[in-house]
Amino acid sequence: MKFLKRCYEVFFLLLAVTSVILMFFDRQEYESFDNLILAIFYVEYFIRLLFAKQKWQFIKNHPLDLLALMPFDSWFRGIRLIRLFSVLKLNVYFKQKFPILIKVFTNNQTGILLLWLVVIIFLISVPISYIEPKMHDYYDALWWAIVTVSTVGYGDLVPVTPIGKVIAVILMILGIGTMGALMGNIAQILSTRQFKNKAQLPFYIKDFERLNDEAKARVISRCQREIELELFHQTNTQKQK
């Protein structure tokens, strides 16, 4: 079983690497083979989704896999790199190294909002690349959409048509709302982590308040002795190390 799993991983790694290499060759010449690779990734993803007990949890835990299947390859061929990142399990690495960041993006409300925002950015960039005369290709439109949503306003590309300006306003509003929700979520998670240990005290504050003064004094005295004892043990342990 372990051997089959290793073969499975190597096979999809080779497919992902091949897909990235094909970025640098003529698309028409290798189009059939390229489409076959994409079809294999589609089938593999939906089979795993089919057998997953919690479908939505599976989607949240594998964001790179889903993003790599988005049909934007004809405009943005760099999307193939995401397939390689997915196969290399970089999402697992980020979970271990950046748990707070992962928790922010897998939060139900924030995760859904960000997912829709990414989809909107990619989709909006398609008509913008045709509508706006100053945006010569899809890459220009995508760059402009990202800069607009992030409210950076770099200024190298700006819409000049009425439709383009309306879309720009919509993207700005979405960007401000999303960034606000994201920052609020991060602050909430950091605050929760900060007070997590305090919430795990060996007694409940409400129960403590129900005690009379003598009982409170005894509890406080015992707690003080326990804290001093633990500090003593901790200091000795550190000296021994």
If residue 47 lies in a helix (H) or strand (E), which one and from where to where? helix 31-51
Alpha-carbon span 229 to 217, nearest angstrom = 18
Local confidence pLDDT in tens for the 241 residues of the chain: 667 776 776 777 777 777 767 766 666 667 777 778 778 888 888 888 888 888 888 877 777 677 667 655 554 555 656 666 666 555 555 555 555 555 655 555 666 677 677 778 877 887 888 888 888 877 788 888 888 888 776 677 888 888 888 888 888 888 888 777 777 766 766 666 555 555 555 555 667 777 787 887 787 778 777 877 887 777 777 666 5
The confidence score (pLDDT) of residue 212 equals: 82
- The last residue of a domain, from among 39, 73, 97: 97
The pLDDT value given to residue 105: 58
Give CA angle at 53 (51, 54), nearest 5°: 120
Judgement on whether residues 136 and 190 belong to the same structural domain of the protein: yes
Pair 153, 175 in one domain: yes
- Last-in-domain residue among 97, 124, 152: 97
Residue 1: domain span: 1-97
| Alpha-helical runs (H) found in 88-212 | 90-97, 99-106, 108-131, 138-149, 162-194, 205-209
Please check whether residues 139 and 169 belong to one and the same domain: yes
Query: What pTM does this model have?
Result: 0.45
Domain boundary among 57, 82, 97: 97
Residue 79 lies in a domain: yes
Residue 237 domain-assigned (yes or no): no
Provide the pLDDT for residue 195.
52
Query: Of 148, 149, 71, nearest to 117 (Cα)?
Result: 149
- 190 and 211 within one domain: no
Asked whether residue 215 is domain-assigned, the answer is yes
Same-domain check for residues 69 and 49: yes
Q: Which of 143, 135, 189 has its CA nearest to residue 163?
A: 135
Distance CA 79, CA 36 (A): 16
Same domain, yes or no: 13 and 84 = yes
